[in-house]
Amino acid sequence: MRFRTVILLSGCCQLLAAQAPPRLYQAQLQTPLASYLRSGTPLTALLTGPLDAADGPQLPRGTVVSGIIKRARPVGLGLARERASIEVEFTSCTLPGATDLPCTAVLTAIDNARERVIRPNHIQGILAASHPHSWLSGVWYRPAPMLFGKAPAGLTGAAGMVHARMTGDPVSALAIVGSRLALFGMPEPEIEIPPGATVFLSIEAQPGLSHQPLDGDEPGMPLEPFLDDLRAQPETVTKAGGNPAGDIINFAFLGSRADLENAFAVAGWHTADPLTPGSFTRTYRAATSMSGYPTAPVSALFYQGRLPDLVFQKSLNSIAQRHHIRLWLASVQGVEVWLGAATHDVAIAFEFNRMSFTHRIDADIDRERSIVLNDLISAGCTVWHRLLQRPDSGIPPPAAVVVTDGALALIRLQPCDAGDDYSRLHRGPRRPFPARLARRVILESRHYFTRSNVYYWAYRSVRWSFGLGRPARGTDDATVLGALTLHRRAAAAGGGSASAAEAVD
């Protein structure tokens, strides 16, 4: 009996050993994902790489993960529901070369989207009636009998006060309603994720062939002395006042400016606009309409007293979230090198000391390093790359916590061309104006009656005070705990790993 038990346990261990543990991958949608699509609609995503630099078996880049939209619930006219939702299911993996591979894939996040994955494979849309302008017209208004006559016109709160003084003038009242509809649009409530969007998948599969970067000397020069000098480059990025920022130098690119601009363009990144009154207006409109601004300006940061020479960024449909990298031209042993600091904006916050809005960045900047690297490699814009470990240089603590192993990603660029155009904008059927107007009246009225009053927010405050109703906070949305030192992962301090938090950009 014991012998049979040992044989059985041995067989189970061999089966588990043949199965790679779940690993988080970055992938690019090849098909649209929308709440008005039918259940059973095919869904495919192309793996662009893992989100960590750990050793071990991994699925190769170019693996196609296939599935279906299991269930989609659109908002429609807003009578049945206020939020759209989608449930997906991934069922298979196909390696490059059309080899099928058993796998279990789970959608964990949609990158830089206003939509959230509230639990594995379940996407939740926005509450469109809760856009920033709705606060002006609802949150200061107490429930009263007159609310039922004014809410359908969107005239509660401040707008209701103005309308109450013009009840005898229907022309003025109509002008108020019309101007509100024209100036303060309601965000699109349906979920529309276009092809080319980045998603994150947790995949458990039998190991495939892993991509290995090419190693060796750079043609025309001895590599090791150059790497030693590159490791010695300062890594601190500072704010305007000279205080360290959460960003650090974590990239070095070999190639011309044209190669760099072309590589990021092919990979789906955009050049950031300068900060002007026009770009400020576009930023405000994107924030209030809960939409994206793919070329939004970034704040001024300095490396060795200089503003960046180039800034690239990538986002989807949210102004609050975006990837960005600042780049400075430098010379190392007479070789032109572009030093870059890449971070991920995850939220917009208000800084009371400067009385201005700013972004908060994901403290796990190594994850951002993997995302940039995956984008460029998948676009075919790199010859080789390697991670250079740097000694802990004892740099001053940044303005907030960041978590990093301190490695520098060195990339040799090459000319590249755009491949399959998955980034084309997917727009579903547009509803006629009367239907959109009816939907807005229904959604905003529901919102005013149920949520946009002091009693609802008092209820929410009580729930939050007892720790109820708070969303789960992960790596991309943690709380800033204070101005702490820079943490380095793994071997830098005895193998300990610091918990992730946010830094201010």
pLDDT tens-place string over residues 104-113? 899 999 999 9
Residue-level pLDDT at 406: 86
Give Cα 423 distance to the centre of its chain.
16
d(CA 104, CA 21): 11
- Read off the pTM: 0.80
Confidence of residue 352 (pLDDT cuts 50, 70, 90): low
pLDDT in tens, 303-324: 999 999 999 999 999 988 999 9
- Per the prediction, the chain carries an average pLDDT of 77
Q: Do the Cβ atoms of 328 and 308 come closer than 8 Å?
A: yes
pLDDT in tens, 361-394: 888 899 999 999 999 999 999 998 989 988 764 4
Confidence of residue 283 (pLDDT cuts 50, 70, 90): confident
Nearest-Å Rg of the Cα atoms of the chain is 26
Residue from 339, 358, 371, 314 nearest 480 by CA: 358
| Range ranked top by mean pLDDT from 54-63, 123-132, 160-169, 263-272 | 263-272
Residue 387 buriedness (CB in 10 A; 0-12 / 13-18 / 19+): middle
DSSP assignment, residue 451? T
Confidence of residue 496 (pLDDT cuts 50, 70, 90): very low
**What would the mean pLDDT of 457-485 be, rounded to a whole number?**
51
Give the dihedral sign, CA 462/464/467/468: positive
d(CA 44, CA 23): 18
Residue-level pLDDT at 159: 54
Q: Do the Cβ atoms of 330 and 337 come closer than 8 Å?
A: yes
Q: The domain 20-128+189-208 belongs to what CATH superfamily?
A: Type IV secretion system, VirB10/TraB/TrbI (2.40.128.260)
Instruction: Please name the residue that has the structure tokens 């509809």.
Output: 181
Domain locations along the chain = 20-128+189-208, 132-184+425-465, 223-423+479-504
**Alpha helices, H only, 51-156:** 132-138, 147-150
Residue-by-residue DSSP string for 376-387: HHHTT-EEEEEE
Residue-level pLDDT at 252: 96
pLDDT in tens, 203-257: 987 654 444 444 444 544 557 788 889 999 999 999 888 888 888 999 999 999 9
